[in-house]
Amino acid sequence: MRMRNLFAIFLLLGVVLGTSSPTMAAEAILKDYNAVIVKDLEVPSGSPAPESTGMLMAEKAVYQIKRYNEKYGLFETIAKEGGKAGKEIAGKKVLIIKGEVKEYAPPSVGKRIGHSFIPEVGGHLGSASFAAHYKFIDKESGNVIYETDLRTLSTGANDTVEYAMDRNGEALAKYVVKFKGK
């Protein structure tokens, strides 16, 4: 009997705590922004990532944000820094997204073999990974609005770092949609 009461208390506590946090996380902190500029990601010295990774990841992020923009109508202007959007963003509230590469791991045969031993999932996991730390910055004030780390893996036959980067760009675009309030 005592065990049932203890279980009921933990269950009730879990329901209360579990339902209160998602409502706070769904706040639309980007709702007032009309334009977004994505800067090339910084690649730290000594990183296994090629220097072109920062530029390539920014292009992938712009592509994914534009893709979601077609569906949800998030921004009037989406551009990569240094692009043609200079005149288009005049007078608009601009969000800047910049980041830093944290992990760049090409596919490995050892990881691939290790993943093959995972039941039900093994054949669908890739071994390449990519991670970055992103900052959402208000252009006018220079204040950081939000920061996040995103780490993505490749999957199955698409076992390349480039595919993990594509998935990272899509994960970033989903954050933008979430915080835009769509």
* Backbone dihedral angles phi then psi of residue 53, each to the nearest 5 degrees: -60, -40
Compute the average pLDDT of residues 153-170.
Answer: 90
What pLDDT score was predicted for residue 23?
Answer: 40
What pLDDT score was predicted for residue 17?
Answer: 56
Is 139 a member of any domain?
yes
What pLDDT score was predicted for residue 113?
Answer: 60
Compute the average pLDDT of residues 111-137.
Answer: 74
Q: Which residues contact 123 (CB under 8 A, 6 or more apart)?
A: 116, 156
Is 16 a member of any domain?
no
Is 154 a member of any domain?
yes
What total number of domains does the chain contain? 1
Is 35 a member of any domain?
yes
Q: Are 156 and 137 in contact (CB under 8 A)?
A: no
3-state secondary structure string across the chain: CHHHHHHHHHHHHHHHHHHHHHHHHCCCCCCCCCEEEECCCECCCCCCCCCCHHHHHHHHHHHHHHHHHHHHCCCCEEEECCCCCCCCCCCCCEEEEEEEEEEEECCCHHHHHHHCCCCCCHHHEEEEEEEEEEEEEECCCCCEEEEEEEEEEEECCECCHHHHHHHHHHHHHHHHHHHHCC
Q: 153: domain CATH number? A: 3.40.50
Is 19 a member of any domain?
no
**Which has more confidence, 108 or 1?**
108
* pLDDT tens readout for residues 6-45: 555 655 555 555 554 444 445 789 999 999 999 999 999 9
Q: Are 41 and 132 in contact (CB under 8 A)?
A: yes
State how far the alpha carbon of 87 is from the alpha carbons of 7, 76, 90, 148, in Å: 61, 13, 6, 30
Q: What percent of the chain has pLDDT over 90?
A: 62
Total-model pTM: 0.78
Structural domain of residue 40, as residue ranges? 28-180
Is 2 a member of any domain?
no
Is 18 a member of any domain?
no
* pLDDT tens readout for residues 126-139: 679 999 999 999 99
* pLDDT tens readout for residues 64-97: 999 999 999 999 999 999 877 767 788 899 999 9
If you average pLDDT over every residue of the chain, what do you get?
84
Is 48 a member of any domain?
yes
